[in-house]
């Protein structure tokens, strides 16, 4: 399918909608808008970037683009990792970050109305001011909540609280033809026909443009304590996870990390907060658990069970972090993992597969083995409690072309193994355009075709984020 190009006159029409200050055309467009945080997946400059400030402006933009057959790529903070906001066909990048207001709380019903450009860190901090918690906790805190909804981001609290999907109560969207649609109500349950809401969540901007969200909140836990469990290797560490989950501890998070990434984080941040030698033993992997409750005594009572489980499964010790500075330090180290990998790596590719928890160790061992055979360095960490693994191919000594070829071989072998273990292609980063073929292989022709048919119903002209998820157009 061919699209029309953006002319100077068309750009002026867009500027008349959003204001000249919020419309950038031609050579003035920043290169930042040509890719997300994984430039290895390619980049493409948009012809124009618009920053609407409200639903009505988004509606006018989409109507104009639909009438003129101009492709539109929706972009939030640009922190995606699957090429989802790369404007593969040029055209218009519609950035929602100017729509960044927290519109109001409903304290009686535990929800908040926001625009999609509100950053995760802003919503989390503001909710705490109201003694409430917004539970989804993806690693990239500066990402937009709208982007989190579009990829159904999960994060470190998903083992207890679920993913972003579980906190979206209602939304306002603009369809590709410019029509404004209110989807669902701010109620906690519904059995009222097909769930359009849950079709939009995780659709990566391919079906509609989100312009307002009503998000569920929960009471803020009064206290939380983190516990670091060092182990000899990743297999021993992962073996402890199912017993921890079965012990009735109701953990808020269960993270795993390998020694390699801990060392890299210490070098990058200058902080060696995570010990590498414990009781005279070298740690090869770690489990990081957070428990929460009404007070410290109640949590420490449950922690006795955690310590028993840890000891039974070979943990060298259980390091307790009650102090707020200690908790902040270890979670800052955990949150910096991707940043430190990016900082010391020339070429990077990633997967965020999800496998059954008891298969994590087998999958990681397999991927590391393939990486060794192919001469590719593998870095990994992730969410042990729900089986969502963040695995990176990285290289500083290959050409870009060599890296892409070998990385593709590692990825294909890894996704094949994931399928063998009854896992899924993405746990929270999404498909974008980089993982499209892997999705098709994973779900099969019928399911992939049904996804494409849904896309066609919402967007018959194919102008909205073309080439992504299940749209097989190639630029």
Considering only the C-alpha atoms of the chain, give the largest distance between any 2 of them, rounded to a whole number of Å. Answer: 71
Mean pLDDT of 174-198: 94
Mean pLDDT of 410-435: 97
Is residue 333 over pLDDT 90?
no
pLDDT at 107: 97
pTM summary value: 0.95
Mean pLDDT of 20-43: 96
- Listed in order, strand segments (DSSP E) in 150-270 are 168-174, 180-183, 209-216, 218-219, 223-231, 253-258
What is the β-pairing status of strands 277-278 and 253-258?
unpaired
Tokens (6 digits) for 378: 């593998």
pLDDT at 467: 97
What digits encode the pLDDT tens for the residues 109-151?
Answer: 999 999 999 999 999 999 999 999 999 999 899 999 999 999 9
pLDDT at 330: 87
**369 backbone dihedrals φ, ψ, rounded to 5°:** -65, -45
Strand order in the sheet with 23-25: 23-25, 48-50, 92-95, 72-75
pLDDT at 293: 94
Pick from 394, 305, 287, 395: which is nearest to 350 by CA? 394
What digits encode the pLDDT tens for the residues 349-401?
Answer: 999 999 999 999 999 999 999 999 999 999 999 999 999 999 999 999 999 99
Mean pLDDT of 83-88: 97
pLDDT at 351: 96
Is residue 30 over pLDDT 90?
yes
Mean pLDDT of 20-35: 97
pLDDT at 399: 96
What is the β-pairing status of strands 285-293 and 319-321?
unpaired
State the Cα–Cα distance between residues 79 and 141, nearest whole angstrom: 10
pLDDT at 474: 83
Tokens (6 digits) for 335: 């949150």
pLDDT at 461: 97
pLDDT at 1: 65
State the Cα–Cα distance between residues 148 and 264, nearest whole angstrom: 27
**Chain centroid to CA 439:** 17
Distances (CA, A) of 160 to 32, 33, 120, 157: 35, 35, 18, 6
Is residue 348 over pLDDT 90?
yes
Tokens (6 digits) for 33: 């808008």
14, 48 Cβ separation under 8 angstroms: yes
State the Cα–Cα distance between residues 231 and 284, nearest whole angstrom: 6
> In the predicted model, what is the mean pLDDT of the chain?
95
User: Which stretch of DSSP H or E encloses residue 143?
Assistant: none
pLDDT at 41: 94
Mean pLDDT of 61-86: 97
User: Which stretch of DSSP H or E encloses residue 457?
Assistant: helix 445-458
381, 387 Cβ separation under 8 angstroms: no
102 versus 39: which is more confidently predicted? Answer: 102
Mean pLDDT of 171-189: 95
């Amino acid at each position: 399918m061919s699209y029309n190009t953006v002319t100077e006159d068309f750009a002026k029409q867009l500027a008349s909608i959003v204001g000249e200050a919020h419309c950038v055309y031609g050579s003035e467009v920043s290169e930042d808008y040509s890719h997300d945080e994984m430039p290895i997946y390619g980049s493409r400059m948009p012809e124009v970037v618009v920053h609407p400030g409200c639903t009505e402006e988004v509606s006018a933009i989409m109507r104009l683009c639909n009438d003129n057959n101009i492709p539109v790529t929706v972009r939030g903070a640009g922190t995606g990792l699957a090429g989802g906001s790369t404007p593969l066909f040029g055209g218009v990048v519609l950035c929602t970050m100017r729509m960044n207001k927290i519109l109001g709380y409903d304290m009686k019903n535990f929800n908040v109305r926001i625009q999609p450009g509100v950053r995760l860190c802003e919503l989390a901090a503001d909710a705490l001011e109201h003694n409430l918690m917004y539970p989804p906790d993806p690693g990239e805190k500066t990402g937009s909540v709208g982007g989190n909804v579009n990829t159904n981001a999960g994060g470190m609290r998903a083992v207890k609280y679920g993913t972003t999907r579980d906190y979206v109560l209602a939304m306002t969207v603009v369809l590709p033809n410019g029509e404004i649609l209110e989807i669902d109500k701010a109620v906690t349950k519904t059995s009222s026909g097909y769930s359009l809401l849950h079709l939009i969540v995780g659709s990566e901007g391919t079906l509609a443009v989100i312009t307002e969200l009503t998000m569920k909140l929960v009471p803020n836990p009064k206290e939380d304590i983190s516990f670091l469990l060092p182990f000899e290797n990743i297999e021993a560490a992962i073996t402890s996870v199912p017993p921890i989950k079965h012990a009735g501890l109701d953990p808020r998070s269960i993270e795993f990390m390998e020694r390699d990434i801990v060392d890299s984080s210490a070098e990058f941040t200058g902080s060696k907060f995570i010990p590498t030698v414990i009781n005279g033993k070298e740690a090869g992997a770690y489990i990081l658990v957070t428990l929460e409750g009404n007070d410290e005594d109640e949590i420490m009572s449950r922690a006795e069970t955690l310590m028993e489980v840890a000891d039974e499964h070979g943990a060298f010790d259980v390091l307790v972090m009650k102090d707020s500075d200690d908790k902040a330090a270890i979670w800052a180290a955990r949150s910096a993992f991707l940043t430190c990998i990016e900082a010391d790596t020339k070429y990077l590719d990633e997967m965020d597969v999800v496998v059954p928890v008891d298969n994590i160790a087998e999958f990681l061992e397999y991927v590391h083995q393939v990486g060794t055979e192919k001469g590719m360095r593998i870095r990994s960490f992730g969410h042990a409690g729900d089986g969502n693994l963040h695995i990176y191919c990285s290289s500083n000594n290959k050409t870009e072309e060599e890296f892409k070829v070998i990385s593709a071989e590692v990825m294909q072998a890894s996704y094949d193994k994931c399928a063998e273990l009854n896992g899924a292609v993405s746990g929270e980063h999404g498909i974008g355009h980089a993982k499209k073929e892997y999705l098709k292989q994973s779900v099969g022709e019928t399911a992939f075709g049904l996804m494409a048919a849904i896309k066609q119903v919402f967007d018959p002209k194919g102008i909205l984020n073309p080439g992504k998820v299940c749209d097989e157009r190639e630029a």
